Amino acid sequence: MNTTSKRRMGREIKAAAWMVRHPGFLAAPAGTFGAGVELGWAATGGIVGGTTAALGAWYRAHPDSFDRLAAPRLRAVRRRWTAYLGPRWKATLRACDLYTVHRKTGEEHFPRITKVRAYSPTVDVLHLALPKGQHVRQFEANAEMLADALRAYRVGVERVKPGVVGLVIQRAEAFTEVIDAPEMPWDSDAVDLADLYVGEDEYGNEWRQGILGRHVFGAGATGSGKNSIPMSMLRAMAPMLRDGLVRLWLCDPKQMEFAKLAPIAHRYAADNEACGDLVGDYVEAMQERQREFAAEGRRKITVSRETPLDLLVLDEIGALLAYGDPSTARELRRQLALVGSQGRATGNSMLALVQEPTKDTVPIRDLFTDRFCLRVTAASHVDMALGDNARLRGAVADEIPNDPATAGIGYVIRQRSRVPMQVRASYVADHEIDELVAFVQNGRSADLRVVA
């Protein structure tokens, strides 16, 4: 027997349920009124004024702690009751067809906001409890429409848990200033190869990228600033390069920025034939280490001078795998596939850059564990670089303006949530590359910017 009623829930019950979910809406005015009755309105006004003055003093006196502790909460409260207020929020969802209708009663059911977070001035994070019949795919398909309705730059979508979808709403440009290049530590002990500083993310946190046990793949059009990412990582690991704990193997078909690093590279090659020889020697060294590990019963590398991290950097990998001599490209594909599938445990890591991340250009791209995508020229390139549906979830790298001011801005995928996160790499100028080379070659110098 069908027991579904055609009657709607009473409005007074809905109002009571709303009050239960938002106790602060009643507690604040009730508390103020109670304090006024019990303590007097003058005393209550003094308490409120004193609290406001204390917050203002905190804001002016200690920006770091205020911005970390108080500002996100205050922003979240303000935006919850201005940008995402009930009627306005429902009207936005209705315009974007992101609601369901009860087939018998005709009652509209909207996703309910359960959490609002504003970790930075430019990005809001909303958690929505979905009504029955809705799915995260509907939000992914309508993300651009929802962004326009909210007057936002972009909307990213993630599945938080069954029945709950998360929206990352970017309301303004997150990066308006160039980020300085990483400073170079003096001691190798200060470097964590699994956690190297690269830049900042849209939440105002440090963007950090590991290389030990990782293979990193980056896509970006000409002028997108992708070379700053490996340069930042190399500056962050400078003392390990100096002390022989990291060996740099460098393939540089373009012979531009990376040519400056030739003096500190363990091996450097420019033309395709020389790069083929370099990669062949790299694979031989990897296989020799595999045999040593097997004989010793070791399963994982401990970085030392005897077993350094061997970092293979491939600038414009497309020139090696797709645009050059076919026979050389085939052998390179085979060898790089071996590195991608076998090299992580032995301390053989790759970092490859490309302008056109298609499967024809980089057939081994799925062997890279970590990826980033800066400005690209086609929407399809985003999914090719970051994985299926990355653009639907909010990685609109093809919409980044072709402007020098946007160099280094792009997207990475947060590993736990799989939601795209906007990042910006620090800018490493030519003189800072020269500093890196001098630091590695000569050790400490008075005119180098280093951290003791």
pLDDT in tens, the chain (452 residues): 455 555 656 666 656 665 565 555 555 666 665 666 666 676 677 677 777 777 778 767 767 777 777 777 888 888 888 888 778 888 999 999 998 887 777 788 889 888 888 888 888 999 999 998 888 889 988 999 999 999 998 998 888 888 999 999 998 888 988 999 999 999 999 999 999 999 999 988 999 999 999 999 999 998 899 999 999 999 999 999 999 999 999 998 888 778 999 999 999 998 888 999 999 999 999 999 999 998 988 888 889 999 999 999 998 888 888 877 788 889 999 999 999 999 888 889 999 999 999 888 899 999 999 999 999 999 999 999 998 888 988 899 999 998 889 999 999 988 766 788 999 999 999 999 999 999 999 863 434 444 43
Burial readout 288-309 (b: 16 or more C-beta within 10 A, e: otherwise): ebeeebeeeeeeebebeeebbb
- The span from the CA of 99 to the CA of 155, in Å, is 17
Per the structure, the count of domains in the chain is 3
**Long-range Cβ pairs for the range 173-180 (8 Å, 24+):** 173/122, 174/120, 174/122, 174/123, 174/202, 174/422, 174/424, 175/200, 175/202, 175/408, 175/409, 175/422, 175/424, 178/408, 178/427, 179/408, 179/424, 179/425, 179/426, 179/427, 180/426, 180/427
Residue 159, classed as helix, strand or coil, is strand
Per-residue pLDDT reduced to its tens digit, 265-313: 999 998 888 999 999 999 999 999 999 998 988 888 889 999 999 999 9
Q: Are residues 283 and 326 in the same domain?
A: yes
**What are φ and ψ of residue 449, in 5° steps?**
-90, 100
Q: Are residues 206 and 347 in the same domain?
A: yes
Would 367 be classed as within a structural domain? yes
Nearest to 182 by CA among 237, 135, 255, 102: 237
Would 111 be classed as within a structural domain? yes
The last residue of a domain, from among 172, 198, 232: 172
How many beta carbons lie within 10 A of that of residue 218, not counting itself?
26
Nearest to 138 by CA among 179, 110, 173, 106: 110
DSSP H helical segments within 112-257, as ranges?
136-141, 143-149, 228-236, 238-242
Nearest to 332 by CA among 265, 392, 393, 281: 281
Q: Are residues 219 and 366 in the same domain?
A: yes
Would 357 be classed as within a structural domain? yes
Would 3 be classed as within a structural domain? no
pLDDT at 12: 63
pLDDT at 450: 40
Residue 69's identity, in one-letter code, is: L
Would 355 be classed as within a structural domain? yes
Q: Are residues 55 and 78 in the same domain?
A: no
pLDDT at 32: 67
Nearest to 353 by CA among 393, 411, 312, 304: 312
Bridging pattern class, strands 184-185 and 450-451:
parallel
pLDDT at 451: 40
Would 6 be classed as within a structural domain? no
How many beta carbons lie within 10 A of that of residue 73, not counting itself?
11
Q: Are residues 330 and 191 in the same domain?
A: yes
The last residue of a domain, from among 141, 172, 203: 172
In the numeric block, which tokens belong to residue 107?
Answer: 């009652």
Q: Are residues 312 and 212 in the same domain?
A: yes
Per-residue pLDDT reduced to its tens digit, 138-172: 998 899 999 999 999 899 888 888 899 999 999 88
- The span from the CA of 337 to the CA of 340, in Å, is 5
- Report the CATH number that the domain containing residue 422 is assigned in CATH: 3.40.50.300
Residue 275 exposure: Cα atoms within 13 Å on the Cβ side: 28
Would 68 be classed as within a structural domain? no
Q: Are residues 43 and 154 in the same domain?
A: no
pLDDT at 204: 87
Through-space distance between the first and last CA atoms of the chain, rounded to whole angstroms: 77
- The span from the CA of 18 to the CA of 22, in Å, is 6
- The span from the CA of 447 to the CA of 427, in Å, is 20
**Between the CA of residue 57 and those of 43, 51, 119, 121, 290, what are the distances in Å?**
21, 10, 21, 20, 61
Q: Are residues 229 and 355 in the same domain?
A: yes
Residue 8, classed as helix, strand or coil, is coil
The domain of 313 spans 184-451
Nearest to 439 by CA among 252, 188, 201: 188
Q: Are residues 82 and 29 in the same domain?
A: no
Q: Are residues 284 and 146 in the same domain?
A: no
How many beta carbons lie within 10 A of that of residue 64, not counting itself?
7
Q: Are residues 231 and 160 in the same domain?
A: no
Would 178 be classed as within a structural domain? no
Report the side by side order of strands in the sheet with 164-170: 112-120, 123-129, 164-170, 154-161
Residue 88, classed as helix, strand or coil, is helix
Q: Are residues 281 and 153 in the same domain?
A: no
